Amino acid sequence: MDLNEYFQSYENYFWEWETDEDIAGDSGYHDNNLISIPGVGAIAYRPYVMEILKELQPQGWPPFGALLMVLYAMQEGYTDFVTPLKHTAGFHSIGNFDFTADRSIEFLEKLKSLNKVYKQGQNRIVLLQTLFQDGHNRMAPGKAEMILTIYYKRPQMLAASAEKKYAGPSAINRDLSALDLLNDKFPTIQSIVDAMRDHIDEPELDDEVVAEETNIETDKDFIQQLIEEPKTFQVGSLIKRIWSGLRIPMKHLSPGEQPIGGISDMANKGDLHRMLLSEFANEDDVFMNRVANNEVLYIQREIPPEENIFERIILIDTSLRNWGTPKVMAFASAIAIIRHPKAHSKCKVFALGQAGLPISLDTPEKVIENLNQVSPVLEVSEALGKFFNQEHPEKDLEVFFITHQENLVDEKIRKVIHENRDRLKFLITTTSDGELNFYKHHKGARKHIQKIKLPLQELWANPPQRKLKANTVNGKKTDLPQNYPILFPTPSNTIAQFLYEGEFYILSSKKQLLKTYLSDNYYDRNSYDYYKTYHGCEVLMEDISVKPRGQFALAKNKKQEFILCQYQPDKKLISKLNLNTKEYSELNVTGLNIPNAFHLAYFGRSFYLHQPLNSSLYKINLEGNVSVESVFNDDREIDKNIAKAETEVAKLNRSGMKIISNFNRIGINENNNLVISGNELSRVYENSLNLYKNRFTVKILAEQNKNKFTFQDGSEVITDPRGMLTFKSSNTGIPTFYIPSTEYGFLALSSSTEYGGSEYYLPKQTLLKVKTLDEMYSQYLTAFIDQILDYGA
């Protein structure tokens, strides 16, 4: 199966390739960048699917259609996999082929009902790996790796796959049977959780029965909590100012008669028994004249007000147009409506992006969590239309829609708003300079009811200083990922280095298995450059149980598991360790009288104890427990290959870097540069980033909690002794970014999407957009430091 066959789309099938012209494709190829279900909605963008396939490559790939439906079932919000699967199965059931999708749908329903904590972040990858481990119709890892390599070199080849073909019985059977077998393999939702349990650190889930709160915080206390928390200060500081000018009715009465006494109860029409007694004091002629001309006054019956029966819902636009300051204002407006002192009815809140997701804004923690929600779409007309037409078609709704002012001129948004103006009662728009506009739909027409201009600079001028809790100092160490979007610096202290099937591996002194690579230009002296030839590494395995002594060789068995072979000449001991399963076996070879000049090496699916020009070899098996046999070296082919491998591996000798692994102090010096353990992070040369010894006074220090350093504004620097720094700003508009921690070398700065700096840290295969380091420095590091300095002012 080649690239086009694996990604092939079919006629009358449950998925297809599409092109979203508003979103740039990866690898410079912008067509066919979206995979969707015909007539239902999007599954995922192509770059995301390729990243998933990259994670699944070591264990092989499941059928593409089965993987797509699993990804779709893991989405939050509205999903419909029943209709497309049943349509596909029914359409292709012809003659002797009778397909049914019932078992597949049953499994996808289980996946949909799985707690969302197992479908987020790294747990999502673990879930996919668990489901498709040794799955049906699985593509071999080597073949999957080859397809990935071809794709990243020539992504335009997908154009052929996007042209739909007739789906033969094998295509539909391949996808449905994979899902059917998953349904059999995981009969319950709990069975999926149990299978994942060994691979993840399961978070503490809230109990199903929540204890009733005895101390209820008032709204004032809640707003004060938002103001005192640096991460929600910007939202909290706007709420009271919005309250002071808000003219939206907080509690509607029934639209019928609502008089409760006074002059407003009087009218010139009514029943005779409700006529005012004072009218009878007039002369008869005058009285009759007033009656004839409808001038007499009547009093109406007092009618008690009725509560509004409409359900109030707030929709917050989280698209790219409403990101940054407008989004902060949108959340502040929503909380102002929900927590208004005169508001008594409950509100539901939805974040609109690619779909409508219900969110909660009841606690500062929930506000922080949902402020980070951002959708890659430019506008939310599709999600807004689906909300009214499919998810909430009922009429008794009172909907608030909060979006950016620019969206009112977008044709798609205007169309959806106009079609649903009877239920979309209020429209609130935001701008980047602090302006809020409130509109009301009444009898089919939109009316501008008020404008509030928020003095953002004044309201945000005195942010709070961060207060650490008493138990923070001795808290838990912050968890670290196995790898980052960029490479680690390669350590200079190693136990062994290997070349296996053209790839370079390192067994570090910290007992990690690392993978690295060299650039293709190391034979060209004219373009030779240390930071272009050598590169950093990624971590494959950690905490390897091995003693750093003797000789080592590395290979993969038939299951593509790493096997580390070790030979200790002084003890005459040969051992093998499966790095994936931790299986270990050893053999004492004292009786073989192996000379000390023999060295351990790998060649042709076996390990060998080998000496150049010696006709005798000792062969060690790759599969199973350790066994050794003496063989005759007649063709000398093994001598040539081992010598060549040793020459190639020797090229790694200069690739190591001096890594800063002991972090004791992080702060900002008088030059407004970050100081990391006595080293200043600055630009010594043009378009470069370096760590050199700090010679200036440190004016702001971060508080240390294990491997996390926190500034007063809430910004964090998380240290990794393997040579990486993670920067998380308290300003949600600054994405998380990473910088390696090595002394006296050119560094790099990277987010999850953009990269700048030395090529040494750039992965061999990456979707990162490369920019100049000056751009990255200004956009990320300078903004990070300015945020801290502004809070400390």
Q: Which residues contact 644 (CB under 8 A, 6 or more apart)?
A: none
Alpha-carbon gap, residue 489 to 659, rounded angstroms: 7
The C-alpha angle 285, 289, 291, rounded to 5 degrees, equals 120
Sign of CA dihedral 285, 287, 291, 296: positive
Alpha-carbon gap, residue 36 to 19, rounded angstroms: 10
Q: What is the DSSP letter of 300?
A: P
pLDDT band at 567 (very low <50, low <70, confident <90, very high): very high
Give the pLDDT of residue 27.
Answer: 61
455: tokens are 């003095």
Q: Where are the alpha helices (DSSP H) in 545-603?
A: none
Contact 698, 668 (CB under 8 A): yes
Mean pLDDT, rounded, for 462-469:
59
List pLDDT tens digits, range 623-674: 888 999 888 876 677 888 888 888 888 888 877 888 988 888 899 999 999 9
Question: Which DSSP string do the residues of 724-770 spell out, in sequence order?
Answer: EEEEE-SSTTS--EEEE-BSSS--EEE-SSEEEE-GGGS-SS--PEE
Q: Which range is most confident: 303-317, 388-402, 610-624, 728-742?
A: 728-742
Query: Is 90 exceeded by the pLDDT of residue 249?
Result: no
- Return the number of other C-beta atoms located less than 10 Å from residue 713's C-beta: 23
Q: Where are the alpha helices (DSSP H) in 217-324?
A: 219-228, 233-245, 284-292
Contact 459, 238 (CB under 8 A): yes
277: tokens are 């007694």
Contact 667, 675 (CB under 8 A): yes
Could you tell me how far CA 715 lies from the centroid of its own chain?
Answer: 20
Mean pLDDT, rounded, for 115-132:
83
- C-alpha distances out from residue 734 to 228, 354, 459, 547, 601, Å: 20, 22, 20, 44, 49
Mean pLDDT, rounded, for 767-784:
90
Please give the span between the terminal C-alpha atoms of the chain, in angstroms, as a whole number.
Answer: 62
Alpha-carbon gap, residue 121 to 736, rounded angstroms: 15
CATH of domain 219-252+308-459: 3.40.50
CA dihedral of residues 419, 422, 425, 427 (deg, nearest 10): 10
CB under 8 A, 24+ apart: contacts of 200-204: 200/118, 200/122, 200/123, 200/126, 201/479, 203/117
pLDDT band at 553 (very low <50, low <70, confident <90, very high): very high
Give the pLDDT of residue 23.
Answer: 65
Q: Is 282 helix (H, G, I), strand (E, B) or coil?
A: coil
Identify which has the larger pLDDT, 740 or 21.
740
Percent of the chain with pLDDT over 90: 16
Question: Which DSSP string do the residues of 439-464 spell out, in sequence order?
Answer: EEEETTEEEEEEEEE--HHHHTSSPP
Query: Is 80 exceeded by the pLDDT of residue 773?
Result: yes
Mean pLDDT lowest among 249-258, 510-519, 606-615, 638-647: 249-258
Question: 41: left (phi > 0), else alpha (psi -120 to 50), else beta?
Answer: left
Alpha-carbon gap, residue 503 to 148, rounded angstroms: 16
- Return the number of other C-beta atoms located less than 10 Å from residue 157's C-beta: 16
Give the pLDDT of residue 204.
Answer: 35
Considering only CA atoms, which of 701, 689, 697 is closest in space to residue 663?
701
List pLDDT tens digits, range 734-759: 899 999 999 877 899 999 999 998 88
417: tokens are 């708003």
Query: Is 80 exceeded by the pLDDT of residue 48?
Result: yes
Contact 441, 421 (CB under 8 A): yes
Phi, psi for residue 647 in degrees, rounded to 5: -65, -45
Contact 425, 398 (CB under 8 A): yes
- C-alpha distances out from residue 450 to 245, 251, 408, 439, 440, Å: 9, 18, 16, 7, 10
Considering only CA atoms, which of 570, 562, 558, 518 is closest in space to residue 544?
562
Query: Is 90 exceeded by the pLDDT of residue 780?
Result: yes
The one-letter amino acid code at 289 reads N
β-pairing, 34-37 vs 16-18, is antiparallel
Q: Is 192 helix (H, G, I), strand (E, B) or coil?
A: helix
Contact 29, 156 (CB under 8 A): yes
Q: Hey, where are the domains in the chain? A: 3-197, 219-252+308-459, 263-299, 494-654, 666-792
